[in-house]
Amino acid sequence: AQSVTQLDSQVPVFEEAPVELRCNYSSSVSVYLFWYVQYPNQGLQLLLKYLSGSTLVKGINGFEAEFNKSQTSFHLRKPSVHISDTAEYFCAVSKTNSGYALNFGKGTSLLVTP
Amino acid sequence: GAGVSQSPSNKVTEKGKDVELRCDPISGHTALYWYRQSLGQGLEFLIYFQGNSAPDKSGLPSDRFSAERTGGSVSTLTIQRTQQEDSAVYLCASSSFISGNTIYFGEGSWLTVV
């Protein structure tokens, strides 16, 4: 089975500072990797995904993530955060066969303050 | 429709009553998923439908939970004899080859058992 560990439950950061949200996965087979964001009182929105190809993936809102197979990681980064980035961020993994359900991490709460 | 639609958006029910939650996936999406999001528990996979195949029910927490998908489209998640620990946000999602297997989520149904 595939599983995800998000190493930080909460990450406080000042506005315009860089941020990294950590995600490690465990799987015996090839995987797809995803980051979703959930703004307060809203549903989940896809930030970015890694399916194949370049290991550096760029997503919406200036976020990017790098797939590192040797370290089984898929950390999310943004060079300069905004107040509006305050949200819950979920890393997820699935098998590469189509249609398999996502297994999510427990989430990282990003709190951006002035 | 344009996105995954769920109803009701909010439901308060008394302990011991049955509830039904409805999901209308994105038109043409063959895969449909139910997840549960509880405070402090992250996103928990419940059940997955793919086309006409038998559903993957491996995430259902007890036999009080069931789901069906009629005509390969709309799905209903039923919780019988609700308990207070069933209080959570129930998220529905859908995907397809057309969407690059990206899973799109609805806004969720907030269930409170009192």
Which candidate in A3, A44, A51 is best for mutational testing of the B interface (most B CBs within 10 A)?
Answer: A44
Rounded to the nearest integer, the mean pLDDT of chain B is 91
Q: Which residues of A71-86 are buried (b: 16+ CB within 10 A; e: fewer)?
A: ebbbbbebeebeeebb
CA B94 to chain centre: 10
Predicted local confidence at residue B99, as pLDDT: 67
Beta strands in chain B (DSSP E): 5-7, 10-13, 19-24, 31-38, 42-50, 65-69, 75-79, 88-95, 104-105, 109-113
With beta carbons under 8 A apart, name residues in chain B contacting A96. Answer: none
Point out the residue among B42, B45, B108 whose CB comes nearest to the CB of A107.
Answer: B42
Residue B43 contacts A, CB cutoff 8 Å: yes
With beta carbons under 8 A apart, name residues in chain A contacting B48. Answer: 99-101
Residue A97: band (very low, low, confident or very high) from pLDDT cuts 50, 70, 90:
low
Q: Render pLDDT for A35-66 as a digit per residue (tens, 0 to 9).
A: 999 998 888 999 999 988 889 999 999 999 99
Q: Extract the residue ranges of chain B whose pLDDT is less than 70.
A: 1, 40, 99-100
With beta carbons under 8 A apart, name residues in chain B contacting A34. Answer: 102-103
Residue B108 contacts A, CB cutoff 8 Å: yes
8 A C-beta contact, residue A59 and residue A67: no
8 A C-beta contact, residue B67 and residue B77: yes
